[in-house]
Amino acid sequence: MIYSFTLGGSDGNNPFPSLIEASDGNLYGTTYSGGSGGFGTVFKISNPATSPTETVIYSFTGGSEGAGPVAAVVQASDGNLYGTTPTPTVSSINFNAGQTRANNAILPMVGNPVGSITVQCDIPSGTTNILLDVNGYFQ
């Protein structure tokens, strides 16, 4: 074992089983929950072979950046690390109140139950109206 996460600690809980070894020699991964924000973390383990030290790089808050990462990070050719979260999966409507604007978002219909989507409004006292125009079928 390289590192043991603290249950309920700020280092994260429920680590996702995939780690990557980045070009800097460190290991990087994600936890589904925990962290200072409570919604998961991205972490680094430096010196994995000799003296493993875990450092939280990012702690999700459950806001617009998402929550609960369920996949490993990847390192792109530019050297940066990238990852995804299941919430939110798509956001292409970012505009001022009162505007009407087409979304044009393609999103997977894989919710619970299968074929459902979840709409999230991040304005505490806000409401949202949705017109869904299903056009096309992808496999």
In a domain, 31, yes or no: yes
Given a cut of 70, is residue 107 above it in pLDDT? no
Mean pLDDT of the chain: 76
Residue 65 domain boundaries: 13-82
Residues above pLDDT 90, as percent of the chain: 22
| Tens-place pLDDT, residues 50-76 | 999 999 999 888 776 778 888 888 888
Domain count of the fold of the chain: 1
Global pTM reads 0.63
In a domain, 134, yes or no: no
Count CB-CB contacts under 10 A for residue 41.
28
In a domain, 107, yes or no: no
What is the mean pLDDT of the segment spanning 6-22? 86
- Residue 5 DSSP code: P
In a domain, 95, yes or no: no
Give the Cα separation of 4 and 76 in Å (integer).
28
